[in-house]
Chain A
C-alpha cells in the first residue's frame, strides 16, 4: 500500500562502517531522488535517477554511491561513515517532468 518506502527507518552505526539504505516506490514513477536533511532541518538534493540513469549528482562525497537496479528502486550506499553523515535521508519519486515529488518516511542515520 505504501507509495515510497525506505528501509531501515533508523540506522545507528560506528564511524568507519559501510551501510546501505534502500528505497522502493510502487507508483510507477520514472525518477527517484535522495535528499539529506541535516540537524538544522535543512533539506538538500543529493542524487536523482531517471529510468536507472544518474541525472543529478550534487557535489556529494565519493563515499556516497547511489544504485538503481530498476526503475522502482534507488539504494544509497555509504562507505567509511563519518560523524557528519548523521542526518535524515529521504527518498522521493515523481512521474513526469512537471509532477510533484513524493517522499518516503525518511531514514535517520546516526554515526557514533
Chain B
C-alpha cells in the first residue's frame, strides 16, 4: 500500500527565514511520481512540482527547492527567505502507475510566515 507522511502539522517562521517541509513516502512500486501542492487561505490547490522516481536531481525554482532522496524515501521542500505570501497549507502527494493513478496525499503542513 502507498502512504505519504508529513510529520510537521504546523510550522511558524518569521519572514526571511528558510524553512523545510518534510515528506516521507511509502510504496513498493519502482515507478511513481511525487508532487507538492500549495493551498493558500483562498482554498484552491496550486501545483508546484512533479518528480518521477527515476529522476533524483534536486530542483530549484526561485526561492523554492526540492530534495528527492530515494534512499530515505523523502521528498523535502525548502523555501528560502520566506515571505508572508508563502503562508499556506502544503501537501505532498504520491501517484503510482498501476492503472489507478490517484493522488495519495499527506496530511499537509500548515506554514505560517509572520512579518
Determine if B102 and A98 form an interchain contact, defined as CB atoms under 8 angstroms apart.
no
What bracket does the count of chain A residues touching chain B fall in?
20 to 34
A16 shortest CB reach to chain B, Å: 27
How many residue pairs, one in A and one in B, have C-beta atoms under 8 Å apart? 56
Chain A: CB-nearest residue to B91: A43
A interface footprint on B65-103 (CB within 8 Å = 1, 0 otherwise): 000000000000000000000000101000101011111
Determine if B43 and A98 form an interchain contact, defined as CB atoms under 8 angstroms apart.
no
Within the assembled complex, what's the spacing in Å between the Cα atoms of A92 and B101? Answer: 12
Determine if A41 and B47 form an interchain contact, defined as CB atoms under 8 angstroms apart.
no
Interface pick from A18-26, A76-84, A101-109 = A101-109
Determine if A102 and B43 form an interchain contact, defined as CB atoms under 8 angstroms apart.
no
Determine if B100 and A41 form an interchain contact, defined as CB atoms under 8 angstroms apart.
no
Contact partner, B100, options A44, A55, A88, A92, Cβ 8 Å? A55
What bracket does the count of chain B residues touching chain A fall in?
20 to 34
Does A49 make an interface contact (CB < 8 A)?
no
B interface footprint on A35-65 (CB within 8 Å = 1, 0 otherwise): 1000011111100100000011010000000
Contacts A43-B108, A98-B101 aside, 20 further interface pairs with beta carbons under 8 A come to A31-B101, A40-B107, A43-B103, A44-B105, A45-B103, A48-B101, A55-B99, A56-B100, A58-B102, A94-B101, A97-B101, A98-B97, A101-B47, A101-B103, A102-B47, A103-B45, A103-B47, A105-B43, A105-B44, A106-B45
Closest 3 CB pairs of A and B: A103-B45, A45-B102, A43-B105
Interface residues of B (CB under 8 A from A): 33, 35, 37, 39, 43-45, 47, 50, 52, 89, 91, 95, 97, 99-105, 107-108
